[in-house]
Chain A
Amino acid sequence: MKKLILSGIVALSALGVSMPAWAQELSFWSWRQEDKAQYEKFIKAFEEKNPGVTVKFETFEATNYNTILSTALAGGSGPDVLFARAYGGLENVANAGYLLPLDKSNVPALENFAPAAIAAETMRSTKVTYAVPFASQTMLVIYNKDIFDANGLKEPETWDELVQASEKLKGAGIMPFGNGTATAWQNEVMVGGIASTLMGRGFYDDLMAGKADFTDKRYVEALTKLKEITKYFPDGFIGLDYASSQQLFASGMAGMFVGGSYELANFKKQNPDIKMGIFAMPGMKADDEKLVAQYFDGGYAVNAKTPHKEAALKFVNFLASQEFGQMFADELNNISAVPGVSFKDPLLAEVAELNKNSIPYIMLVHFRFGEPSGSVLLQGEIQKLLSEKATPEEVGKNLTTGLAAWYEPFKK
């Protein structure tokens, strides 16, 4: 009997050793623990079409993902295919030569992606793309439709209408906004969701052209308005953390929530009965262009040192396909970056519609390439603004002088 087991083990391990010859297992790392079930499904669809290649999806806690990935790659190991961050976060990993360059020769579908999406996964200095972008996120205002209907409110067309709506909700004993700003990065979200329309496309274009900096009147004015509307945030909102603020909205205690489009799926999960609508923040006048702030989340990259390069590229090509993009949008309720995807979920379709009038989520997209990063500066400065420790003018000045440390156009 013992002999039988032993020979069984030997036979099995022999099989294990010879496996790679005809079947390849790719490891695929991600920071989206909450999407594991959906990814297993996508992978199954891939494996059915590509016999001989299996994919093992492994997830890590989002806040530690960079550290774990960095350590693995630096140690010469790591996954075959991986989730890569966008913008500055991508450059950190790509700079070190750990990722395989992707272009139309090995991933033909990349050619049809939106330029802004490709730019998110491209090194600025070398113009080499390293990942297939997966999703975009949009900073906007989410509102509770039942609360709006019960109070006879509709989506505001002007700033004054927004203030009136807030007053009405407050009078009815409902928190107009559920947001809190104790969690640092939420402050940046407030600027993207509230101030994009107010600063306007003209300011953004001038900023990029080097004709304006953050001391510009349009930017300072937008921050002044942002400060004004926080009058309708919950009591003590500067001490309210992100998780609590989400709960205020999801539980129906607050009428509106300034946040990313990624919140929609999350709110639905927390409260399946909630009916939500979205709008872009209005400007002072009804015909001001209403803008949302958009950025790309990350992409799928290939480890440059993978022993299964061919299989990994096959998989990444699948991740760039419209078939995958559609599944991604349907299953994960996210705006897929793959061109030509249609959105069944009406809210998602609306986000895609709002994206047509958008400016980039400025600090993340353009100012995370040096230290101090624009995001770090902005988050801290807005916390100062909201706790009366700085005026909008001072915030604009501190952002500009802080970024001048590495951002050439601001150097005097």
Chain B
Amino acid sequence: MHGSPLLARRLWITALIVPPLAFVALFVVYPIISAFAYAFFQWHGLARGEFVGFANFYKVLFTQPYADWTVNAFLNNVLVFFALMVLQNGVGFLLAYFLWRELPGAAFHRVAVFLPVVLSTIIVGFLWKLFLHPLFGVVNISLRGTGLGSLAQPWLGQEGTALWALIIANAWHMVGFPTLVFLAGMQRIPGEILDAVRMETESEWVKISKIVWPLVAPSATIVFTLLFVGSFNWFELPYIMAGVDGSPHKATDVLGLYFYRTAFGDQSGSGQDFGAGSALAVLIFMFIAVVAGFITFRLRAREIQI
């Protein structure tokens, strides 16, 4: 048998596809499936016990104290999502619009807005922790310096302010990302359309609501979906700023922290439970996959092709 060009080509393609496929299977698909499997077993410390069906899911959803913890963490995630939708994506859209309209200083601000995105979350977390330090933090010092000392607070220590402090830190960190995506979307709007609008109206509001917003819909789909996934997977910033316990008193507890603490234990508080932890991971994964799929599907439908 002598190698035909077609066969050689097929072999070549196979050789290119198999290694990455094997890699993904080994390091992505296998861990996900094994986490699924872990969730159906009882765990004695690290040793896998008997098959328990849906008992772990029942435990985290319906038995106390897990049920309260799960609901509390979930609701915090929901709050984070909506707050960031306004503070991160909403502000991002406005910033993008101003940058696109090339207001004075646009070149400088384009860099300034995007710069924090480049910083690592660890740095941002510590930076904001310092800003919010009750004694020496720049926030409280500025308040005291301007005669607003009564507004100075232990921001990260109060149930009412801790989660919002984290949300604002996150918005400050990431607002450059939606800005950039929206800006790219706006810059793709053809000049003819804008010229046509200019003949009809001078109103910025009409321009934003009737022309720009519908035409950047693909960008909106991207940033909405990513924000959704990001806010329900939120982990690094709360971990750095509030600790794995969602301090104070679970006011900053989100699903990511709660899952981590449950599965791997918290050195200063609780033991580890791989079963319940895996069940939580599966639930979080399914929730994100289903809702993110739905959001993408719905938002895609309203996109306009130019």
Select one of B152, B158, B159, B267 contacting A62, CB under 8 A: B267
In the assembled complex, B272 has its CB within 8 A of some CB on chain A:
yes
A91, A94, A383 — most chain B CB neighbours (10 Å): A383
CB pair A373–B247 under 8 Å, yes or no, is: no
Contacts of A11 in B (CB 8 A): none
Among residues 244 to 285 in chain B, which have CB atoms less than 8 Å away from a CB atom of chain A? 244-245, 247-250, 264-273
Q: A181-B157, A240-B157 are in contact. Are A387 and B248 (CB under 8 A)?
A: yes
CB pair A405–B265 under 8 Å, yes or no, is: no
Cα(A94)–Cα(B133), bound, Å = 41
In the assembled complex, B65 has its CB within 8 A of some CB on chain A:
yes
In the assembled complex, A372 has its CB within 8 A of some CB on chain B:
yes
CB pair B268–A185 under 8 Å, yes or no, is: yes
> Nearest chain A CB to B157's CB is how many angstroms away?
3
Contacts of A182 in B (CB 8 A): 154, 156-157, 247-248
Cα(A292)–Cα(B294), bound, Å = 57
Q: A66-B264, A96-B44, A387-B159 are in contact. Are A373 and B65 (CB under 8 A)?
A: no
CB pair B65–A372 under 8 Å, yes or no, is: yes
Binary interface profile of A, 220-251, with partner B (CB < 8 Å = 1, else 0)? 00000000000000111111110010001000
Among residues 235 to 276 in chain A, which have CB atoms less than 8 Å away from a CB atom of chain B? 235-241, 244, 248
Select one of B133, B153, B154, B247 contacting A183, CB under 8 A: B247
Among residues 317 to 340 in chain A, which have CB atoms less than 8 Å away from a CB atom of chain B? none
- Chain B residue with minimal CB distance to A381? B249
A67, A182, A248 — most chain B CB neighbours (10 Å): A182
Interface of A is mostly: helix
Q: A383-B247, A383-B248 are in contact. Are A240 and B269 (CB under 8 A)?
A: no
In the assembled complex, A397 has its CB within 8 A of some CB on chain B:
no
The count of residues in chain B whose C-beta lies closer than 8 Å to any C-beta of chain A is: 38
Contacts of A74 in B (CB 8 A): 46-47
CB pair B44–A241 under 8 Å, yes or no, is: no
A239, A244, A371 — most chain B CB neighbours (10 Å): A239
Cα(A389)–Cα(B46), bound, Å = 37
In the assembled complex, A366 has its CB within 8 A of some CB on chain B:
no
CB pair A375–B269 under 8 Å, yes or no, is: yes
Contacts of A97 in B (CB 8 A): 47
Binary interface profile of A, 374-412, with partner B (CB < 8 Å = 1, else 0)? 011001110110010100000000000010010000000
In the assembled complex, A212 has its CB within 8 A of some CB on chain B:
no
CB pair A238–B269 under 8 Å, yes or no, is: no
Select one of B132, B247, B265 contacting A184, CB under 8 A: B247
Contacts of B159 in A (CB 8 A): 387, 389
Interface of B is mostly: loop
Q: A67-B264, A236-B135 are in contact. Are A402 and B157 (CB under 8 A)?
A: no
- Chain A residue with minimal CB distance to B66? A371
Cα(A304)–Cα(B269), bound, Å = 27
Cα(A405)–Cα(B154), bound, Å = 33
- Chain B residue with minimal CB distance to A74? B46
Q: A236-B154, A371-B65 are in contact. Are A244 and B133 (CB under 8 A)?
A: yes
Binary interface profile of B, 36-68, with partner A (CB < 8 Å = 1, else 0)? 000000001111000000000000000011100
In the assembled complex, A360 has its CB within 8 A of some CB on chain B:
no
Contacts of B44 in A (CB 8 A): 95-96
The count of residues in chain A whose C-beta lies closer than 8 Å to any C-beta of chain B is: 52
In the assembled complex, B243 has its CB within 8 A of some CB on chain A:
yes
CB pair A98–B269 under 8 Å, yes or no, is: no
Contacts of B244 in A (CB 8 A): 63
Q: A182-B247, A383-B247, A405-B64 are in contact. Are A236 and B157 (CB under 8 A)?
A: yes
B152, B250, B265 — most chain A CB neighbours (10 Å): B265
> Nearest chain B CB to A191's CB is how many angstroms away?
13
CB pair A93–B135 under 8 Å, yes or no, is: no
Contacts of A200 in B (CB 8 A): none
In the assembled complex, B110 has its CB within 8 A of some CB on chain A:
no
Select one of B46, B247, B271 contacting A73, CB under 8 A: B46
Among residues 148 to 176 in chain B, which have CB atoms less than 8 Å away from a CB atom of chain A? 152-159
CB pair B134–A237 under 8 Å, yes or no, is: yes
CB pair B47–A96 under 8 Å, yes or no, is: yes
In the assembled complex, B89 has its CB within 8 A of some CB on chain A:
no
Cα(A384)–Cα(B133), bound, Å = 20
CB pair B273–A371 under 8 Å, yes or no, is: yes
Cα(A380)–Cα(B243), bound, Å = 13
In the assembled complex, B140 has its CB within 8 A of some CB on chain A:
yes
Cα(A74)–Cα(B274), bound, Å = 12
- Chain B residue with minimal CB distance to A75? B46
Contacts of A236 in B (CB 8 A): 134-135, 140, 152-154, 157
Select one of B45, B158, B265 contacting A387, CB under 8 A: B158
In the assembled complex, A77 has its CB within 8 A of some CB on chain B:
no
A67, A70, A236, A375 — most chain B CB neighbours (10 Å): A236
- Chain B residue with minimal CB distance to A98? B46
CB pair A184–B243 under 8 Å, yes or no, is: yes
Select one of B45, B267, B271 contacting A371, CB under 8 A: B271
Contacts of A277 in B (CB 8 A): none
In the assembled complex, A89 has its CB within 8 A of some CB on chain B:
yes
Cα(A368)–Cα(B271), bound, Å = 7
Cα(A96)–Cα(B47), bound, Å = 5
Contacts of B154 in A (CB 8 A): 182, 236-240
- Chain B residue with minimal CB distance to A90? B45
B47, B140, B159, B249 — most chain A CB neighbours (10 Å): B249
- Chain A residue with minimal CB distance to B43? A96
Binary interface profile of A, 181-204, with partner B (CB < 8 Å = 1, else 0)? 111110010000000000000000
Sample of 20 more A-B contacts, CB < 8 Å, known A93-B45, A402-B65: A63-B267, A73-B46, A85-B267, A91-B45, A181-B248, A182-B156, A183-B243, A234-B134, A236-B140, A238-B158, A238-B248, A240-B157, A368-B269, A368-B270, A371-B270, A375-B268, A379-B268, A379-B269, A383-B247, A387-B248
Per CB-CB distance, the 8 closest pairs between chain A and chain B, nearest first, are: A239-B154, A236-B134, A239-B157, A238-B157, A236-B154, A185-B268, A96-B47, A184-B245
Task: Supply 18 A–B pairs (Cβ within 8 Å), ascending by A.
Answer: A63-B244, A63-B267, A70-B46, A74-B47, A92-B271, A181-B248, A236-B152, A240-B134, A244-B133, A369-B271, A371-B66, A372-B65, A376-B245, A379-B268, A380-B245, A383-B249, A387-B249, A405-B64
Binding site for B on A (CB under 8 A): 62-63, 65-67, 70, 73-74, 85, 88-89, 91-98, 180-185, 188, 234-241, 244, 248, 368-369, 371-373, 375-376, 379-381, 383-384, 387, 389, 402, 405
